[in-house]
Chains A and B, each alone.
Chain A
Amino acid sequence: EDKVVQSPLSLVVHEGDTVTLNCSYEVTNFRSLLWYKQEKKAPTFLFMLTSSGIEKKSGRLSSILDKKELFSILNITATQTGDSAIYLCAVERGNAGNMLTFGGGTRLMVKP
């Protein structure tokens, strides 16, 4: 059975801290891994990763994929209160019509 597991479940940090969120997966016919940010509404797309070892970066957020060890990390440096959200990881399977299998999410709270 396909599985996407995120850790930690929740995290509380202070502004300025750096955080690392983890996503491990076991899926058949892996095609890509996507990260989303969800505040009090719909998830919004952050990154899509398809190749191992190539970092994707957007401002203070970055992400990398390891296809050998089957995991991805999302780093946020110099956290701000606006980074408080649920971060979702999803895996796209190539044999499943672009369907995404989501992990349970990591709830991040950044305190001032």
Chain B
Amino acid sequence: DAGITQSPRYKITETGRQVTLMCHQTWSHSYMFWYRQDLGHGLRLIYYSAAADITDKGEVPDGYVVSRSKTENFPLTLESATRSQTSVYFCASMSAGIPETQYFGPGTRLLVL
């Protein structure tokens, strides 16, 4: 499928478990981002990647790990999930230097019990 996809769309897990959220884009955009969205906070950047094998922290990186071995994939891992990580997670991709091309995936709704 063309565009940007995320999986799973919904996930329920327990405190302490490891969870990986997947993101895949077909545009060959160099930039990819992970955001979380919580009531009253808008979108907050967790991690971003400017290219394969280049990742950097955003505003709220603690408790998360990312990797980018291929341009099209940007998985986000919660190493030991906590209740405060209950949120909606959006992945996005963007063509370098063109912010209006930042397209968002459909989101993953994560509940940590």
Residues of A near any B CB (own CB < 8 A) = 4, 6, 9, 31-32, 34, 41-45, 48, 88, 90, 92, 97-105
Contact = CB atoms under 8 A, between A and B. Distances in A.
A44 B33 CA distance: 15
28 contacts: A4-B42, A6-B42, A31-B99, A32-B99, A34-B100, A41-B107, A42-B104, A42-B106, A43-B43, A43-B90, A43-B104, A44-B104, A45-B100, A45-B103, A48-B99, A48-B100, A97-B48, A98-B96, A98-B99, A99-B33, A99-B45, A100-B45, A101-B45, A102-B43, A102-B44, A103-B42, A104-B40, A104-B41
- Closest 10 CB pairs between A and B? A42-B104, A102-B42, A102-B43, A104-B42, A48-B100, A92-B99, A105-B42, A43-B104, A103-B42, A98-B99
B94 interface: yes
A88 B48 contact: no
Given A34-B99, A41-B106, A97 B42 contact: no
A101 B105 CA distance: 18
A42 B3 CA distance: 13
B31 A98 contact: yes
Interface of B: 31, 33, 35, 40-45, 48, 50, 56, 58-59, 90, 94, 96-100, 102-107
Contacts of B99: 31-32, 34, 48, 92, 98, 100
B100 A99 contact: no
A98 B97 contact: yes
Nearest to B107: A42
A18 B71 CA distance: 43
Given A42-B104, A98-B97, A99-B58, 20 more contacts: A31-B99, A41-B106, A42-B103, A42-B107, A43-B90, A43-B104, A45-B100, A92-B99, A97-B48, A97-B50, A98-B96, A98-B99, A99-B48, A100-B45, A100-B99, A100-B102, A101-B59, A102-B44, A104-B41, A104-B42
